[in-house]
C-alpha cells in the first residue's frame, strides 16, 4: 500500500507524475493479448523524438528461430548496447520500444540494438533469454561489419528487459561468451520469490502492481523451476560480472530486489552506480513531460555514454 497525504495525494509521489496516474489503464496480464494492445496504445502516446541524426535499420539475427532487431545508429558511434524492452516478459516489441530506443541512441551516442525477443506465455523461459544471447553473440561476431568496437558492447533494459540483461551477463560469464563492457539495469525484475519489503508493502502501486508481477513470473516460468538465468537474484556468485548502473523507482515493488542486487554486486567486487529516484513509480519515466522523467532519461543515456567511452 502507499500512504495518502493531505487532499488524498500519495505521500511522497512526484506531483507531475501523480497527475497522470488516472490515465494509466489497469492492464490485466491474465489476458496477454489485451495487455499488449494497451501497452501499444501507451507507447503510441509518447511524444516522438527526432531521428534525423540516426540511421535506423530493421534486421533479423540468426537464431532458433531468427530474432528481429531494430538498430539505431548515431553518427560516428563505436560502442553499442543490446537493448531489451520491458513488459513483464509478456508485452512489448520493437515498436513499443521505439520511443525509448531512439532517445537512448540520440542522447548517448551509442548504437542501440533493440531486440524483439519472444514473449510469454506462448514462449516461456528460456526463449527470451536465448533470443537476447543470440543477439549479443551476433553483435560481437559482426562488430566489424557493424562498425563497432567489440570491446565496447553493453547489455541493458527496462524492467523485465533489465532482468533479461542481468541474466545474459551471468550466462556470458559462465559460458565464457562474448565480453560485455557494461550492464544498464533500469528498474530490473530479478527475483520471482517477491519477498522483499517493497514487494510486501507496495501492493497497489500505479501501472505495475505486486499481483501483476506475480502473474508475469507465472507466464514467464511456466512449469519450470526458476534458475539464476531467469531470476538473477537467485545467483549465489556475482563475481566477475560487468560493471553496472542500477536505477530504481521509489514506489515500485521491484525496488528492494534491485537495490539488494546492486549491493551484492558491490560485495562481489563489481563496480556499481546505484540511483534511487524519489517520488517515481515503475515505468513512470514514460511520462516524458515530467521534469524527473527528463532527468532519468538523460541520466540513463549519460551512464551508457560514460561506460562506452574510450
Show which residues are catalytic: 159, 252, 282
The number of helices, as runs of H, and strands, as runs of E, in the chain is: 10, 8
Which residue is associated with the grid cell 551471468? 170
200 grid coordinates = 510486501
CA distance 114 to 82: 6
Q: Return d(Cα 171, Cα 241) in angstroms, integer.
A: 10
Q: Which residue has the cell 557494461?
A: 182
Q: Give the C-alpha separation, 219 to 72, whole Å.
A: 30
- On whether the CB atoms of residues 194 and 256 are closer than 8 A, the answer is no
3-state SS class at 268? coil
Phi-psi region of 226 (alpha: psi -120 to 50; beta: other; left: phi over 0): beta
Amino acid at each position: 500500500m502507499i500512504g495518502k497525504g493531505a487532499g488524498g495525494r500519495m505521500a511522497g509521489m512526484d506531483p507531475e507524475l501523480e497527475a497522470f496516474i488516472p490515465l494509466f489503464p489497469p492492464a490485466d496480464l491474465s489476458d496477454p493479448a489485451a495487455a499488449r494492445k494497451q501497452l501499444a496504445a501507451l507507447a503510441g502516446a509518447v511524444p516522438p523524438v527526432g531521428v534525423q541524426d540516426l540511421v535506423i535499420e530493421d534486421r533479423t539475427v540468426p537464431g532458433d528461430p531468427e530474432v528481429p532487431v531494430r538498430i539505431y545508429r548515431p553518427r560516428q558511434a563505436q560502442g553499442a548496447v543490446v537493448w531489451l524492452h520491458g513488459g513483464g516478459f509478456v508485452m512489448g516489441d520493437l515498436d513499443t520500444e521505439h520511443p525509448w530506443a531512439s532517445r537512448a541512441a540520440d542522447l548517448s551516442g551509442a548504437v542501440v540494438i533493440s531486440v524483439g525477443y519472444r514473449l510469454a506465455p506462448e514462449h516461456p523461459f528460456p526463449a527470451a533469454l536465448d533470443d537476447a544471447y543470440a543477439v549479443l553473440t551476433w553483435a560481437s561476431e559482426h562488430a566489424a561489419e557493424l562498425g563497432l568496437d567489440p570491446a565496447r558492447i553493453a547489455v541493458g533494459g527496462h524492467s523485465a528487459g533489465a532482468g533479461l540483461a542481468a541474466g545474459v551477463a551471468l550466462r556470458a560469464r559462465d559460458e565464457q561468451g562474448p565480453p560485455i563492457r557494461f550492464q544498464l539495469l533500469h528498474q530490473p525484475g530479478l527475483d520471482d520469490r517477491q519477498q522483499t519489503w517493497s514487494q510486501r508493502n507496495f501492493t497497489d502501486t500505479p501501472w505495475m502492481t505486486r499481483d501483476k508481477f506475480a502473474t508475469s513470473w507465472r507466464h514467464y516460468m511456466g512449469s519450470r523451476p526458476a534458475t539464476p538465468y531467469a531470476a538473477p537474484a537467485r545467483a549465489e556468485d556475482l563475481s566477475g560480472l560487468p560493471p553496472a548502473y542500477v536505477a530504481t523507482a521509489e514506489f515500485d515493488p521491484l525496488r528492494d530486489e534491485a537495490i539488494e542486487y546492486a549491493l551484492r554486486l558491490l560485495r562481489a567486487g563489481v563496480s556499481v552506480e546505484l540511483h534511487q529516484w524519489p517520488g517515481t513509480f515503475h515505468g513512470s519515466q514514460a511520462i516524458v513531460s515530467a521534469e524527473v522523467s527528463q532527468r532519468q532519461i538523460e541520466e540513463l543515456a549519460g551512464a551508457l555514454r560514460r561506460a562506452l567511452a574510450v
